[in-house]
Amino acid sequence: MEEAQQKTDLLYSPRQIEIAIVLAGPVYTIYMLVKNYNILEQYEFSRNVKYLGSFLFLSLLIAITYIPYDIPNGAFQASCLIFVWAILKKYHMTKDEISDSSALDFRSNWTVVLVTLLGLIITLGIGTIVSILVIIAADVGLLPMTDFFVSTLEEMSAKGIIFWR
């Protein structure tokens, strides 16, 4: 009779999570961290990442609307990466700790790449929806309409990117 194989839970490594935030943005990174913390039965960390991460992501999307386009996109990616790196360093298992555990193993890099593409599509979709909502809210007076914001909307409208006024 064959011995039953011990079940191993698959975790995302810290490096996979860091790469995902650069390639797909915060949405998939939040998913990866929540999934890992649920497997590790750290439900409080999972809940905190889910709610705080979602709040910070939506705040960033709204803030981006008011930030000048002179600032490169890499600055936003770097700030998100540093934030996630700090969380991983303080509250997550290291690659060596995961390797040493007999009950844990790593997810395939191909799985990470495939699902990262899905995360990128979701991030772009959410970003588009929030941007439209911010433009509508600013147009009806719920958010401030700065001169820079108005000139950006007029410029984008002139190029045919958006339809505004």
- Indicate if the pLDDT at residue 85 is higher than 50: yes
The Cα–Cα gap between 99 and 20 comes to: 20
pLDDT above 70 covers what percent of the chain? 93
Q: Where are the domains of the chain?
A: 9-130
58 pLDDT band (50/70/90 cuts)? confident
Q: Where are the alpha helices (DSSP H) in the chain?
A: 14-24, 26-39, 43-66, 73-91, 95-100, 109-139, 147-158
Instruction: Tell me the average pLDDT of the chain.
Output: 84
Q: What is the pLDDT of residue 97?
A: 87
Mean pLDDT on 7-17 = 85
Asked if 17 and 88 count as a contact pair (C-beta separation under 8 A), the reply is yes
The Cα–Cα gap between 119 and 104 comes to: 24
5 pLDDT band (50/70/90 cuts)? low
1 pLDDT band (50/70/90 cuts)? very low
pLDDT tens-place string over residues 119-148: 889 888 888 888 888 888 887 888 787 777
Q: What is the pLDDT of residue 154?
A: 82
Residue 52 in tokens: 């705080």
The Cα–Cα gap between 130 and 27 comes to: 14
Q: What is the pLDDT of residue 7?
A: 58
